[in-house]
Amino acid sequence: MTGTQQAGWIAFGQSFTVVNSLGTAIKLTGLQCYVKVNTVLGLIGSSLVTTPPALPTFGVVSVTGVTAVEATPLIAVQGANPAAGTDNMVFASPQLSAGLNFNGNYRYLQLANTFTAGAVSLQTAYAAKFGALIVGKKIFVKVVQAQNGMQDNGTVFTCLVS
């Protein structure tokens, strides 16, 4: 990277605040921003960048719920296509005890950008990562909006496998 590109990433990191896992507001270094943005872009299959993106403006999440049915089997998110220029990244948990109300173990499944009849199936990606659905288990699904490699904090949905 050129010195100008490095300076751009450093300035980009100082232009906004993120909250770390301990709840402390921090500024990222230029390197942290570069890695963060390009990790997201690589995960969703977009081209990597050497210059920082514009800061995003996120709207309301277009996903409205999640369902999981063992007999079909089916796990899907319901909603509508996201706004132009926004990707819905879907992360999910393994199947957990129905009594749990918090989960910190999410793994990336897929994008949910094209809703057919109001839903996007996660079944193939979920089964490949976590195996068959089990009736009575709880699944946490986090939908994270992404624009140009930047992400919002995500919206969490839960469902019991029926």
Question: What whole-number distance in Å separates Cα of residue 40 and Cα of residue 154?
Answer: 14
Tens-place pLDDT, residues 33-45: 999 999 999 999 9
Number of domains in the chain: 2
Residues 77/141, Cβ–Cβ less than 8 Å: yes
Does residue 55 belong to any structural domain of this protein?
no
Are 93 and 30 contained in the same domain?
Answer: no
pLDDT at residue 117 tops 90? yes
Alpha-carbon span 145 to 153, nearest angstrom: 8
pLDDT digits (tens, 9 = 90+) for 62-79: 999 999 999 999 999 999
CA distances from 122 to 5, 6, 9, 101, 115 (A): 38, 38, 35, 22, 11
pLDDT of residue 49: 97
Claim to verify: residue 77 and residue 7 sit in the same structural domain: no
Is the per-residue pLDDT at 83 higher than 90? yes
Residue 20 has pLDDT above 90, yes or no: no
Are 38 and 73 within one domain? no
- The pLDDT, as a whole number, for residue 109 is 97
Is 90 exceeded by the pLDDT of residue 8?
A: yes
> For all residues of the chain together, what is the average pLDDT?
95
Q: What is the mean pLDDT of residues 148-155?
A: 93
* pLDDT at residue 5 greater than cutoff 90: yes
Amino acid at 27: K
Is 33 found in the same domain as 109? Answer: no
As separate numbers, helices (DSSP H) first and strands (DSSP E) second, the chain gives 3, 10
pLDDT of res. 16:
87
Q: What is the pLDDT of residues 137-151, one digit of tens each?
A: 999 999 999 999 999
Specify if 58 maps to a domain.
no
Confidence class for position 19, pLDDT limits 50, 70, 90: confident
Residue 124, in any domain of the structure = yes
In the 8-state DSSP scheme, what is residue 42? Answer: H
State the residue range of the domain holding 9: 3-43
Q: Which residues touch 32 (CB under 8 Å, ≥6 apart)?
A: 13
> In the numeric block, which tokens belong to residue 109?
């499944």
Percent of the chain with pLDDT over 70: 100
The DSSP code for 149 is T
Q: Are residues 35 and 93 in the same domain?
A: no
Instruction: Give the per-residue pLDDT at 27.
Output: 95
